[in-house]
Amino acid sequence: MPDKERIVFDDIDKYGPQRYERTYQFTTGELARIELAAIGPVSLDANASKGHLPAEYLADGSTLFAADFLCSRCVEPFPFASSSEFHLRFRPRHEVSAENVEIEITPDELDIEFYTERSVSLRDLAAEQVQLAIPMKPLCTESCLGLCPQCGTNRNGEGCSCQTAVSDERWGTLAGIRAELAKKNEQ
């Protein structure tokens, strides 16, 4: 089987555990995440085998890629290298309602996918893993100063001369808490 683009459950039944090593190229549009400025080839390594339950299959492996993310504060692209592991279980969809009653889902069993088709696209699997690896709010550095809310200058650079102390949210909240506390003390 020279070009294995899919994990085929029947292959596992017939030939035993299967190993897959693929490299995929994605456009940022395909991955549909605005935080993604650019992405290099994604390598996927997976071992697929039978699970413990009837008609259950497992895929364990890892994905590796390098990308440029946009910082959610200063909107500048920054390089990011990701290496992550996955442990997926595939269970037939039609047995969900019948078995759900007995099967207790433990935290390490959260990566369960229910299938209707007896094969899984490795490219889709890679895309899914990349999406999971992109943080909700990527930051170029933890201490990124972001953009000036008044003039839009990147405050990590030279900065600007705007008066930003006018309404800093955090101080506003703190003032609110102080007022609340003062009220309570009066009662």
Find, among 56, 105, 64, the residue nearest to 86 by Cα. Answer: 64
Return the range that interacts with Zn ion (CB under 5 A); candidates 10-18, 40-48, 69-77, 89-97.
Answer: 69-77
DSSP for 146-163?
A: -B-TTT--BTTTT-----
39 binds Zn ion (CB under 5 A): no
In this complex, which beta carbon is closest to Zn ion, that of residue 64 or of residue 148?
148
Q: Which of 7, 44, 59, 74 binds Zn ion (CB under 5 A)?
A: 74
Q: The tokens of 46 are what?
A: 């997976």
Exposure class string for 98-108: b at 16+ Cβ within 10 A, else e: eeeeeeeeeee
Q: Which of 96, 150, 173, 178 binds Zn ion (CB under 5 A)?
A: 150
In this complex, which beta carbon is closest to Zn ion, that of residue 100 or of residue 150?
150
Return the range that interacts with Zn ion (CB under 5 A); candidates 33-41, 68-76, 106-114, 165-173.
Answer: 68-76
160 binds Zn ion (CB under 5 A): yes
Query: Is residue 115 within a helix (H) or strand (E), and if so which, with residue range?
Result: strand 112-115
